[in-house]
A and B are shown apart, each in its own frame.
Chain A
Amino acid sequence: MHTMKTQLLFIFLLSLAFLLPQKTNAQVAKKILAAGDKKIAIYDFNNFEKRVNQKNDTTYIVNFWATWCIPCVQELPYFEQLQEKYKSEKIKVILVSLDFPKQVEKSLIPFIKKKKLTSEVILLDAKNPNAWINKVDPSWSGALPATLILNKKHRYFFEKSFNFEELENEYLELTKRD
């Protein structure tokens, strides 16, 4: 009987562990690079995964881009627009830059300032793309731009460029699903 109690307690604790909110953010960045007042968090792949795979009620819009990628730069305003239009909902746009780490201060930060980007921008500095690209999505060839839309239940991946309407439709479709 004693062991039965212990085991029940264990089950209870185990369940609790699953129910507890995961570490909220996200102070998981590898390091922070700064230029003036602007800071960019640099993530390795493991920490990036933790950052976007959170079991909370937020829908994450994760866009892979780079400052030199013309179709990426063209679609950035739509991600900003989406965040703004649905700011009353639990939505989080994360712009994942794949700029070269050496270019953060020279290119990335000035670009963010010039375009007045309000969404969170992080830099993914991940080794061995052959391994991590498949973890983002097996269908991704590695071409930029690419976008993940996900919440704790659903995960959409797109290797394409968006216009606002397409992006909004995918967001609405995913958030409406059970």
Chain B
Amino acid sequence: MRYLLLLIATLFITNGDALAQKNKKRKKTGYKIGSIATDFSLKNVDGKMVSMKDYDEAKGFIICFTCNHCPFSIANESRLIYIDGKYKKLGYPLIAINPNDPAVNEDDSYEKMIERANEKGFTFPYLFDEGQKIFPQYGATKTPHIYLLQKTKKGPQVKYIGSIDNSARDIEEVTERYLEDALDALIKGGKIKITETKAIGCSIKVQKP
């Protein structure tokens, strides 16, 4: 009798679980943990070109895809300055890249990037992904979107992908500092506990074909 009950209960449960799933998602492209990231040569807000190979002393990089207009990016700006200040001297400078096409949103133009960087006092390069060649290689889908890289013999290797922490909207509610935890682990030579995280962000703006 007990088995009959179990059977009935199981029927109900599996029926629920068997809900047909059909996700019409784009095929996931871009870097995974362990991928070797390609270097870039992109124009900084000071007019100079910046590449990872220019940084002889660095042990790695915090690459942050971000932009001028997105409120989640704006809410993270002060955190980027703080993290750059803390980790640049430990060998992990931050490099911000604006991946958006300004033809879609003029607030993300190169000129507005210069304004924003000055206004906010960015301590790190803020590069323009002109022609949008770099962000698709990384697989960035939104701003902000972070890739933590560590230099290896093979090239800069992806160690962490995701968000700075678990509360982009409100710094008061942060309880997990994913990026700093990953950096601390790298610096100590330990294992990164959480290597990928998700957060809400603004989709990267590309002109429709």
Instruction: Let me know if A168 is at the binding interface, CB within 8 A.
Output: no
Interface contact A7-B20, CB-CB below 8 Å? no
Interface contact B200-A142, CB-CB below 8 Å? yes
Within 8 A of B (CB), among A134-178: 134, 137, 139-145, 152-161, 170, 177
Question: How far is B169's CA from A152's CA once the two chains are assembled, in angstroms?
Answer: 32
B138 to chain A, nearest CB (A): 12
Instruction: Let me know if A52 is at the binding interface, CB within 8 A.
Output: no
Q: Across the two chains, which residue of chain B brings its CB closest to A4?
A: B1
With A3-B1, A70-B105, A144-B142 already in contact, 6 other A-B pairs whose C-beta atoms are closer than 8 Å: A68-B71, A130-B198, A141-B141, A153-B19, A154-B21, A154-B22
Chain A's interface size range is 35 or more
Instruction: Let me know if B201 is at the binding interface, CB within 8 A.
Output: yes
Residues on the B chain within 8 Å of A134, using CB: 198
Residues on the B chain within 8 Å of A98, using CB: 200
Question: How far is B26's CA from A4's CA once the two chains are assembled, in angstroms?
Answer: 54
Chain B's interface size range is 35 or more
Interface contact A11-B20, CB-CB below 8 Å? no
Q: Chain B's interface: helix, strand, loop or mixed, by majority?
A: loop
Given A7-B1, A156-B24, does the pair A129, B199 have CB atoms closer than 8 Å? Answer: yes
Q: Chain A's interface: helix, strand, loop or mixed, by majority?
A: mixed
B142 to chain A, nearest CB (A): 4
Instruction: Let me know if A117 is at the binding interface, CB within 8 A.
Output: no
Given A128-B166, A153-B19, does the pair A133, B199 have CB atoms closer than 8 Å? Answer: yes
Residues on the B chain within 8 Å of A69, using CB: 202-203
Interface contact A145-B203, CB-CB below 8 Å? yes
Please give the residue numbers on chain A whose beta carbons come within 8 Å of chain B beta carbons, in ascending order.
3-4, 7, 10-11, 14-15, 18, 66, 68-71, 98, 100-101, 127-130, 133-134, 137, 139-145, 152-161, 170, 177
B21 to chain A, nearest CB (A): 6
Interchain CB contact (< 8 A) of A140 among B105, B169, B198: B198
Q: Across the two chains, which residue of chain A brings its CB closest to B173?
A: A127
Question: How far is B163's CA from A156's CA once the two chains are assembled, in angstroms?
Answer: 26
Interchain CB contact (< 8 A) of A155 among B21, B170, B175: B21
Q: Across the two chains, which residue of chain B brings its CB closest to A67?
A: B71
Please give the residue numbers on chain B whose beta carbons come within 8 Å of chain A beta carbons, in ascending order.
1, 4-5, 8-9, 12, 19-26, 28, 69-71, 104-105, 141-142, 145, 162-163, 166-170, 173, 175-176, 178, 197-205
A117 to chain B, nearest CB (A): 20
Interchain CB contact (< 8 A) of A11 among B4, B142, B198: B4
Residues on the A chain within 8 Å of B4, using CB: 11
Interface contact B204-A127, CB-CB below 8 Å? no
Given A155-B21, A159-B25, does the pair A15, B8 have CB atoms closer than 8 Å? Answer: yes
Q: Which of B12, B178, B198 has the most chain A CB within a 10 Å cutoff?
A: B198
